[in-house]
Amino acid sequence: MRKLMILAMLVMALGLGAVAAQDLSSIDPSGQTIVYWHQFSGAQLETMTAIVEDFNANNEYGITVEALAQGSYNDIRELMNASIISGELPNLVAGYANDAASYARDNVVVDLNQYVNDPTWGLTAEQLADFNTDLLTFNSPVGEPFNGALLAWPHQSSGQVLVYNQDMLAELGYDAPPATFEEFREIACAAAELTGPNGEDVQGFPITTDASVFETLVAANGGAIFDGTTYNFTSDAVIAALTFYADLYNSGCAYVPAERFAEQADFALGLNPFFVSSTAGFTFIQQAMVDNNATFTWSVSTLPSTEGNRTFQVFVPSIIMIQSTPEAQLASWLFLKHLITPDAAAAWSAGTGYFNPVPSTAEILAEEMFGVPAIFPYFEAANALLNDPDLNLYSGPNVPSYGAIRGFVSEAIANVTSNGIAPADAAATLQEQAEAALAG
């Protein structure tokens, strides 16, 4: 059975800001207009617009969804914080679990459990069987004041993968990506001795200050930075992850990329053996390969791990329901429910390259459906990881303080690499910062 790397469970409970459970059978959502603030642009905007238009034209209740692009997640957070004060709120808003928890503290978020489980309007047994309910868990904070309330709806996700150069690994004598930390170090160090296609030095593993990579390394060592109540940055798993960074860097087997996403360009140039990416970046990787006339074969896998701790981190941008009238809330739920119908879910993945939470869509998705057909094999491989029951799924803490924590982790990574600070000292500083952030 899949072990979830987060202490949470989907229960029928009321969290902060959730309305009392009620009999929904008599509520009529007909004719409601729903305002949905989102962050989409480009292909994502085009795809969501088509899905919304289909819902508006075909739902039997005459519900109209007005989907409004409001910039980035940061823009939306600022707009929401201002709107909570003014009271002029949308019905649905994009955000991550920590955003939902923050808004819930202001008593404006609806607990979606009552809709999921409602005998009239909820998900049927068949729908639940064809739904990745692990993703619900990541949006259900445990402990006071949330108590397992479902604060956001996960209609999409992406995953963190190790993107590796199969040809370079074969040149070094490896027929598979590194499964253990020891193999990872061996390959990174061996690659750092190679010469690139045009006489440049291959640089080993690119270390970025991305907190998500660090969290995966902690989970892959059998730990977690948050236990549902408190942060722990002094555990053996955290020290192991920071030491891994420091050792690779000090041994000349890793480097710090010159700028954001430089590791991706370096990979396409054949100047590193592997790097860590979100699956949402596949189109950019493919474009970098084309731009640099790269001909080597690449693929994706998980990051290395200790025995029994192979981890796949998922990023779950979701949709948060904001309190309004019973009729508007039910209409909002029917739109959320529409997003996990197989047709809508498959259209979303094909148009954006993001995963959807409906496993059966893997059977109908095909290369020709994708806006960038060349990414389909990598999407398929990563989607198989997401649905592999032998892997541990991990997602970042679903608490308001998590945004600040990510910045502190980035500082710690820089400290144990470029700044030469001992891992134990960096961890101690992290712990102090985390405790202050949680208390605040």
The residue type found at 401 is S
- The superfamily CATH assigns to domain 33-157+316-365 is Periplasmic binding protein-like II (3.40.190.10)
Query: How confident is the model at residue 347, as a pLDDT?
Result: 96
What phi, psi does 46 have (nearest 5°)? -60, -45
Confidence of residue 1 (pLDDT cuts 50, 70, 90): very low
Query: Backbone dihedral region of 396: left (phi > 0), alpha (psi from -120 to 50 degrees) or beta?
Result: beta
Task: Provide mean pLDDT across the span 361-370.
Answer: 92
Query: How confident is the model at residue 371, as a pLDDT?
Result: 87
Helices (H), 180-325: 181-191, 211-220, 236-250, 262-268, 282-291
Decide: 92 and 335 in contact? Cβ < 8 Å: yes
What pLDDT, in 10s, does the model give residues 234-278? Answer: 999 999 999 999 999 999 999 999 998 999 999 999 999 999 999
pLDDT reading at 10 higher than 70: no
Query: How confident is the model at residue 3, as a pLDDT?
Result: 41
Residue 51 corresponds to which tokens in the numbers above? 């899905």
What pLDDT, in 10s, does the model give residues 148-180? Answer: 899 999 999 999 999 999 999 999 999 999 999
pLDDT reading at 91 higher than 50: yes
Tell which residue, 426, 136, 418, 29, has the closest CA to residue 250: 418
Task: Provide mean pLDDT across the span 109-117.
Answer: 96
pLDDT reading at 12 higher than 90: no
Helices (H), 1-160: 42-58, 73-86, 97-105, 113-116, 125-129, 134-137
- Mean pLDDT is highest, among 65-74, 380-389, 392-401, for 65-74
Confidence of residue 5 (pLDDT cuts 50, 70, 90): very low
Tell which residue, 249, 204, 244, has the closest CA to residue 220: 244
Query: How confident is the model at residue 134, as a pLDDT?
Result: 85
Give first-to-last CA distance, the chain, whole Å.
37
CA 104 to CA 320: how far, in whole Å? 10
What pLDDT, in 10s, does the model give residues 183-201? Answer: 999 999 999 999 988 888 9
Confidence of residue 32 (pLDDT cuts 50, 70, 90): very high
pLDDT reading at 4 higher than 90: no
CATH 3.40.190.10 in the chain is located at 33-157+316-365, 158-313+396-439
Q: What percent of the chain has pLDDT over 90?
A: 85
- The superfamily CATH assigns to domain 158-313+396-439 is Periplasmic binding protein-like II (3.40.190.10)
